[in-house]
Amino acid sequence: MIERMATTWETIEERERRVRGTRTTSVLARAAEQIPSGDNLKTAFAERPFISRDELRNIIRDHDEGPVITLYLNFSGERLVRDHPLFLTVFDSLRHGELEARKPYIESLPYAQRLRVPEDLAEMHAFLDGFQPEGARAIVIFKQGARLNRVMPLPVRVADSLTIDVDPYIQPLEAILEEQRRVLVIDLSKENTTVSLYELGYEESLASIKAFEPSDSVDASRPGKGQGRRLTHLQWHLKSSALLADRLFREKGADLVALIGEQGLVTEFEDYLPKAIRERLLARLRLSTDDRTIKRREAIEGALAEARRRDEEAALAELGFYKGHGRLAAGLELVIDAANLFLMRQLYLDDRLTQAGYVCRSHHFLSLTAGPCPFDNQPLLPAENVVDELIEIARLHGVQVMLVMSRQDLLVPYEGVAAVLVTAVPIDELRAVSVTS
């Protein structure tokens, strides 16, 4: 099989370069300074349970400070046993496997750095032991002594992994952030405007401006002029607010806009927005601009869910076209074969899909059956859910991933998973690769 894959698609050396590239390159440019964080995981999480794209740029390699531990861990239903959460058992298994795999590297470290590895792992275990997921589907942790402590719960699934390396393993989180829609939220009133950014369930305040308030006293002999002045001040406020929104929309790379405020004021404000932003309007929400409760989050998430449903319907409606042109792999077995050959351009999965399988993370190879990796002849590692491994590998190689959460019914004809291929490939050829593997 390995000869077939190498000669048909690319050489083994080319594959090695491709896989290495996913860990040594990044969509986001790395900055020159380490982000500030608490001196332990609990403090860091209490201070800020979110890692923005800007902050992620600043989590960088530092050879002088020694190894960084990176953890990606899923919370599934069966892992949340009350007395002893099973995700702790998964963490312990990941820890044992990585310590064994990285033993030569760890033993080569200076004494202080070598000693810090088990201390950091023990702190991570203690943190997880007291952590309450509260609806989170996964968590990401970066740990390097007192220098780097960052924790981020996620509402999306990840592939379980723990790495000990000179560089934090940020690529999966980068890919997840790139997939999410960033919403610029504009709270509008006649007195002031506040702009924030909403992403992955977290909202970050960006800027605010206050309207100039004219005197309530109006010259009795010239009442019309006083009213005109008030209108002019409101118009200037709306114009200034629109300019602020336009600037932040571009600077922060927002995808959508949500407007919050009194209906008439919001309608008037829209006239001041550039057409490009009006076309990205997600919702007009009837909330108090002072309401920062869970009701606000639910309203924004509800609007995003409706937008996601429309996107899913539009995207999945095109699968028949690709199937007719020989560019669609359907069903988990064929999709995995396409992934192993790096043939995927787009990947669509039922968010509920799970399947045990096997993986070689060193060569980004997946299988539904046990056996050796065809690239190094080492035994494939069991994966509790090979679908999560498929998603991560797809993200690392720049594949557009859509986890279908609303219209799973549209994926039923494709057994819950389909991949659009970069080129037309006879299904028989993919099946032949599957049989050979």
pLDDT per residue of the chain (437 residues) written in tens, 0 to 9: 444 444 445 667 777 776 766 655 443 333 333 344 567 899 988 888 888 887 887 776 544 578 999 999 998 766 666 556 788 889 999 999 999 999 999 999 999 999 999 999 999 999 998 888 888 889 999 999 988 999 999 988 899 999 999 889 998 998 898 888 999 999 999 889 999 999 988 888 999 999 766 555 544 455 555 555 556 888 899 999 999 999 999 999 999 999 999 999 999 999 999 999 999 999 999 887 666 668 888 999 999 999 999 999 999 999 999 999 999 999 999 999 999 999 999 999 999 999 999 999 989 999 999 999 998 899 999 998 999 999 999 999 999 999 999 999 999 999 999 999 998 877 666 655 554 54
Q: Please, what is the Cα angle at 113 between 110 and 118, to 5 degrees?
A: 130
Same fold for the pair 180-310 and 317-436: no
> What per-residue confidence (pLDDT) applies to 100?
93
> What is the CATH code of the structural domain delimited by 180-310?
3.30.420.60
Domain layout of the chain by residue ranges: 27-169, 180-310, 317-436
pLDDT in tens, 80-104: 665 567 888 899 999 999 999 999 9
> What per-residue confidence (pLDDT) applies to 201?
86
**Contact 87/74 with Cβ under 8 angstroms?**
yes
**Contact 191/213 with Cβ under 8 angstroms?**
yes
- Note the pTM of the prediction, 2 decimals: 0.77
Going by CATH, does the domain composed of 317-436 fall within 3.30.1330.30?
yes
Quickly list DSSP for 258-300.
Answer: EEES-HHHHHHHHTTS-HHHHTTEEEEE---TT--SHHHHHHH
**Contact 52/166 with Cβ under 8 angstroms?**
no
As beta bridge partners, residue 210 has 192
- Region for residue 217 given its phi and psi (left: phi exceeds 0; alpha: psi -120 to 50; beta: otherwise): beta
Distance CA 286, CA 296 (A): 10
Token digits of residue 349:
């999965």
Sign of CA dihedral 100, 102, 105, 110: negative
Residue 49 burial class via C-beta count within 10 angstroms: exposed 0-12, middle 13-18, buried 19 and up: middle
> What per-residue confidence (pLDDT) applies to 295?
87
Q: How many CA atoms lie within 13 A of 288 on its CB side?
A: 6
> What per-residue confidence (pLDDT) applies to 46?
87
Residue type, 227: Q
> What per-residue confidence (pLDDT) applies to 63?
43
Among residues 174, 231, 210, the alpha carbon closest in space to that of 51 is found at 174
**Contact 287/296 with Cβ under 8 angstroms?**
yes
